[in-house]
């Protein structure tokens, strides 16, 4: 069938592998294959060259090539079947949810983000915040509430609680750079985030902030983020205008 056509990757794609640089070989390979899928050089349904052959052609070991391919499989762009081969998944590609801040999201989509800082205060952790941040009840925390806009249109109301060490953050930096960038600047590397996505009606106050009618439907997300030592460094409750923001997820059966 036409769908299973063999398709050999152009040699040119792998001409300039940098073997001594800091970028891992498997990453260089996976980037090139992914690019070939996204720009149509590898059409949907087509078969990828087999692992062993590809490894020989590139002068790499099979595990290295295998890892490159597996990374793309995990992104949902390829499917593999034992005894069959590797094929490009049909359907247009959608960007998946990533561990990024809203600030980054809006920047990437060519909108100009801005922020109104609504609240910036020290509060004692209540039951929920204490549990989410793994601190004892009543511990001081930084409580912030922000209105985020894209091209001056309100998109989200974001409420966050952070461990007390962040009380020294400058409010102006928060407005200028966004929360995650400020945390990165303080040496915090976010590694894991657990999110719960749901929906509810807006409160009258939120309706005013987001410029929607009263009782409009809002998309909500609760998120707890952990740094690279496994410590909870942020808990937040966000609500988004569903006409301006939604979440995309790609799931891959393992």
Partner DNA sequence: GAGTGGTCTAGACCACTGA
Partner DNA sequence: CAGTGGTCTAGACCACTCA
Strand partners, 235: 161, 224
143 within 8 A of 122, measured Cβ to Cβ: yes
Tokens 């999201």 sit at which residue? 105
Residue 215 contact, options DNA, a second copy, none, Cβ 5-8 Å cut-off depending on partner type: a second copy
140 binds DNA (CB under 7 A): no
Tokens 């750079």 sit at which residue? 177
Q: Name the token pair of 250.
A: 């790609």
CA 159 to chain centre: 19
Q: Which is nearer to DNA, 10 or 63 (CB)?
A: 63
Which among 111-119, 150-158, 170-178, 190-198 is the span making contact with a second copy, rule CB under 8 A?
190-198
Q: Quickly count: other Cβ atoms within 10 Å of residue 78's Cβ.
A: 21
Which among 44-52, 131-139, 194-202, 234-242 is the span making contact with DNA, rule CB under 7 A?
44-52
110 within 8 A of 102, measured Cβ to Cβ: no
What's the chain's length in residues?
Answer: 254
Residue 25 contact, options DNA, a second copy, none, Cβ 5-8 Å cut-off depending on partner type: DNA
In the chain the first and final C-alpha atoms are separated, in Å, by 27
Among 40, 82, 127, 136, binds DNA (CB under 7 A): 82
Encoded one letter per residue, x for contact with a second copy by CB under 8 A and - for no contact, window 27-66 reads -----------------xx-----------------x---
216 binds a second copy (CB under 8 A): yes
Q: Which residues form the interface with DNA (CB under 7 A)?
A: 24-27, 48, 50-53, 59-64, 66-67, 80-86
């Amino acid at each position: 069938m036409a769908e299973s056509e063999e398709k050999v990757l152009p040699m040119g794609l792998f001409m300039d592998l940098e073997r001594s640089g800091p970028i891992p070989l498997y990453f260089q390979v996976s980037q090139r294959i992914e690019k070939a899928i996204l720009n149509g050089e590898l059409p949907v349904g087509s078969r990828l060259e087999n692992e062993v052959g590809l490894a020989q052609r590139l002068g790499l070991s099979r595990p290295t090539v295998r890892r490159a391919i597996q990374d793309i499989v995990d992104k949902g762009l390829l499917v593999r079947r034992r005894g069959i081969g590797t094929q490009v998944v049909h359907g247009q590609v959608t960007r998946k949810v990533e561990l990024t801040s809203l600030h980054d999201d809006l920047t990437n989509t060519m909108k100009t983000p801005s922020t109104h800082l609504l609240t910036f205060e020290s509060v004692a952790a209540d039951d929920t915040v204490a549990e989410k941040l793994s601190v004892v009840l009543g511990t001081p925390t930084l409580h912030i509430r922000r209105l985020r806009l894209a091209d001056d249109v309100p998109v989200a109301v974001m409420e966050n609680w952070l461990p007390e060490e962040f009380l020294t953050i400058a409010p102006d930096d928060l407005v200028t750079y966004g929360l995650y960038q400020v945390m990165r600047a303080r040496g915090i590397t976010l590694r894991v985030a657990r999110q719960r996505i749901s929906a509810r009606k807006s409160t009258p106050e939120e309706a005013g902030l987001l410029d929607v009618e009263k009782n409009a439907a809002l998309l909500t997300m609760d998120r707890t983020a952990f740094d690279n030592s496994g410590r909870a460094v942020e808990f937040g409750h966000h609500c988004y205008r569903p006409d301006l923001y939604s979440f995309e997820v790609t799931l891959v059966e393992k």
